[in-house]
Amino acid sequence: VVTNPGHDAVRALLVAIGENPDREGLRDTPKRVYNALLEMTQGARTDPRAHLETTFDLADANGEHTRYGDLILSSALPFTSLCEHHLLGFSGEAHIAYIPGAGGRVVGLSKLARLLEGYAQRLQVQERLTVQIAEALEHALEPAGVAVLIRAQHSCQACRGVRKPGVMLTLQTRGQLATAEARGEFLRLCGF
Active site residues: 83-86, 126, 154, 156
CB count within 10 Å of CB 56 equals: 10
Q: Which long-range contacts (CB under 8 A, 24 or more apart) does 15-21 make?
A: none
Q: Does 40 bind Zn ion (CB under 5 A)?
A: no
The tally of CA atoms less than 13 A away on the side-chain side of residue 159 is 10
In the bound complex, what is the minimum distance in angstroms from residue 85's beta carbon to Zn ion?
A: 4
In the bound complex, what is the minimum distance in angstroms from residue 155's beta carbon to Zn ion?
A: 8
| Gap between the Cα atoms of 35 and 188, Å rounded | 40
Q: Does 86 bind Zn ion (CB under 5 A)?
A: yes
| Gap between the Cα atoms of 56 and 108, Å rounded | 8
Q: Does 160 bind Zn ion (CB under 5 A)?
A: no
- CA nearest to 130, candidates 103, 167, 169: 169
In the bound complex, what is the minimum distance in angstroms from residue 156's beta carbon to Zn ion?
A: 3
Stretch that binds Zn ion, among 43-51, 63-71, 150-158, 173-181 (CB under 5 A): 150-158
Q: Does 183 bind Zn ion (CB under 5 A)?
A: no
| Gap between the Cα atoms of 132 and 190, Å rounded | 20
For Zn ion, which residue of 82, 83, 115, 152 counts as binding (CB under 5 A)?
83
In this structure, are residues 70 and 40 in contact, taking their beta carbons and an 8 Å threshold?
no
Stretch that binds Zn ion, among 131-139, 151-159, 172-180, 183-191 (CB under 5 A): 151-159
Q: Which is nearer to Zn ion, 157 or 176 (CB)?
A: 157
Q: Does 85 bind Zn ion (CB under 5 A)?
A: yes
Question: Which residues sit at the interface with Zn ion, rule CB under 5 A?
Answer: 83, 85-86, 156
